[in-house]
Amino acid sequence: MTASPSDWFEETLYKGFRTRYRVGEILHETKTHHQHLVLFRNETFGHVLALNGVIQTTERDEFIYHEMLTHTPILAHGAVRNVLIIGGGDGGMLEEALKHKTVTRVTLVEIDAGVIEFSKQHLKSICGDAFDDPRVDIVIGDGMAYAAETEHRFDVVIVDGTDPIGPGEILFTEKFYAACKRCLAPGGVLVTQNGVPFMQGDELQGTIRALRTLFDDASCYTATIPTYVGGCMAFGWASDDPSLRVAPVSVLRDRFAAAMLETDYYTPDVHCGAFALPRYIERIIA
Ligand code: SAM
């Protein structure tokens, strides 16, 4: 879609439901090889990135999503050295994962080089200098192919893809989750961006059903991100070590203190609370 300064950017991700953001200024709009990309400024959310008409991240609330999808698995695991991020072209997940000094390597597999180039220029407040960190490997390619073929093994795999539209569709399949399991090191954790269950419950249900056929333990946890409208967002969780999902808050507090992380959303208590699911989400994943 094309937005002009006098317009409102409209997102229609769900049937019969539309949200609008006033476009203060269009900072960049292009058609990359894979998708339509627009960055605009909004008086409430700052810089807003949208792909194929769907909001991906905003300067104002990106911290919630990126902190919860990195610190939760990394601190629950306790000895993460290698992280794989599938998607994540805006660099926010990368920037957050790199805050862990114990992490020696982060591999980011992004299908669209245009998103990375663009984010380096226009989304510095989200990615910082993450892409230049010597611990980072950037792979331009499909996350499905990478996960199926890589010889590397990872302690945490973070699926930071778009919604199951276009290139993101494959990232919601059992075939992809099996490939992620393949490249997890023993005792590793897979976490996934899994939409807003109140609006996209079938996506979450499909993911958890697939994860339960592949892993000894699969569930989800939640956080509320204002621009992922419709209620809290769910993050898929899967591991062959069931103890990781119920890491005691006392252990998490010690690890959080040792990591000396500066956060604006994540705390060890929020981590534990995020796995306490409302009844309607328990029913979706039952
Ligand atoms: N926070 C956002 C959300 O919750 O929807 C995701 C942000 S990030 C920008 C999503 C990235 O996934 C995009 O840069 C997109 O190009 C990338 N992507 C989509 N499908 C992919 C695939 N099959 N392999 C690798 N990257 C993919």
CA distances to 174, 192, 206, 211 from 218, rounded to whole Å, are: 13, 11, 12, 6
Of all protein residues, whose CA lies closest to atom 17 belonging to ligand 1? 87
Confidence of residue 5 (pLDDT cuts 50, 70, 90): low
For residues 129 and 262, membership in a common domain is answered with yes
pTM, two decimals, is 0.96
pLDDT at residue 15 tops 90: no
Residue 251 confidence (pLDDT)? 98
Q: How far is the CA of 24 from the centre of ligand 1 (A)?
A: 25
- What ranges make up the beta strands (E) of 15-165? 17-22, 25-31, 36-42, 46-51, 54-58, 82-87, 105-110, 136-140, 154-160
pLDDT at residue 1 tops 60: no
DSSP 17: E
Residue 13 confidence (pLDDT)? 83
Check if 58 has its Cβ closer than 6 Å to any atom of ligand 1.
Answer: no
Residue 139 and residue 146: Cα distance in Å, rounded?
A: 9
Angle in degrees, CA 163, 32, 85, rounded to 5: 45
For residues 19 and 112, membership in a common domain is answered with no
pLDDT at residue 42 tops 90: yes
Check if 64 has its Cβ closer than 6 Å to any atom of ligand 1.
Answer: no
For residues 243 and 223, membership in a common domain is answered with yes
Domain boundary among 18, 42, 58: 58
For residues 30 and 133, membership in a common domain is answered with no
* Ligand 1 atom with the shortest distance to the CA of 233: 4
Q: For the residues 92-110, what does the mean pLDDT come to?
A: 98
For residues 174 and 272, membership in a common domain is answered with yes
Of all protein residues, whose CA lies closest to atom 7 belonging to ligand 1? 56
- What ranges make up the beta strands (E) of 97-194? 105-110, 136-140, 154-160, 184-193
For residues 16 and 69, membership in a common domain is answered with no
Q: Which of 167, 163, 132 is nearest to 146 (CA)?
A: 167
pLDDT at residue 156 tops 60: yes
Check if 162 has its Cβ closer than 6 Å to any atom of ligand 1.
Answer: yes
Q: Provide the residue range defining the domain that includes 209.
A: 62-285
Check if 180 has its Cβ closer than 6 Å to any atom of ligand 1.
Answer: no
Q: What is the 3-state secondary structure (H, E, C) of 150-173?
A: CCCCEEEEEEECCCCCHHHHHHHC
Q: Which CATH number is 280's domain given?
A: 3.40.50.150
Residue 143 and residue 161: Cα distance in Å, rounded?
A: 9
**190 domain residue, yes or no:** yes
Confidence of residue 179 (pLDDT cuts 50, 70, 90): very high
Note the pLDDT tens digit of each residue in 53-68. Answer: 999 999 999 999 999 9
Residue 151 and residue 153: Cα distance in Å, rounded?
A: 7
For residues 266 and 188, membership in a common domain is answered with yes
Residue 33 confidence (pLDDT)? 82
Going by their DSSP bridges, the two strands 8-14 and 17-22 should be labelled as antiparallel
Residue 158 confidence (pLDDT)? 98
Of all protein residues, whose CA lies closest to atom 27 belonging to ligand 1? 87
**3 domain residue, yes or no:** no
For residues 232 and 104, membership in a common domain is answered with yes
For residues 54 and 66, membership in a common domain is answered with no
Residue 262 confidence (pLDDT)? 94
Check if 87 has its Cβ closer than 6 Å to any atom of ligand 1.
Answer: yes
For residues 32 and 127, membership in a common domain is answered with no
Confidence of residue 116 (pLDDT cuts 50, 70, 90): very high
For residues 153 and 40, membership in a common domain is answered with no
pLDDT at residue 78 tops 70: yes
**257 domain residue, yes or no:** yes
Q: For the residues 103-128, what does the mean pLDDT come to?
A: 95
Note the pLDDT tens digit of each residue in 185-216. Answer: 999 999 999 999 999 999 999 999 999 999 99
| Residue at token pair 């597999």 | 109
**31 domain residue, yes or no:** yes
Q: Which residues are catalytic?
A: 160
Confidence of residue 39 (pLDDT cuts 50, 70, 90): very high
**2 domain residue, yes or no:** no
Confidence of residue 14 (pLDDT cuts 50, 70, 90): confident
**100 domain residue, yes or no:** yes
Q: Which CATH number is 32's domain given?
A: 2.30.140.10
Residue 225 and residue 188: Cα distance in Å, rounded?
A: 26
Note the pLDDT tens digit of each residue in 213-247. Answer: 999 999 999 999 999 999 999 999 999 999 999 99
pLDDT at residue 72 tops 60: yes
Of all protein residues, whose CA lies closest to atom 15 belonging to ligand 1? 87
- The domain total for the chain is 2
Residue 202 and residue 205: Cα distance in Å, rounded?
A: 5
**1 domain residue, yes or no:** no
For residues 122 and 242, membership in a common domain is answered with yes
Residue 254 confidence (pLDDT)? 98
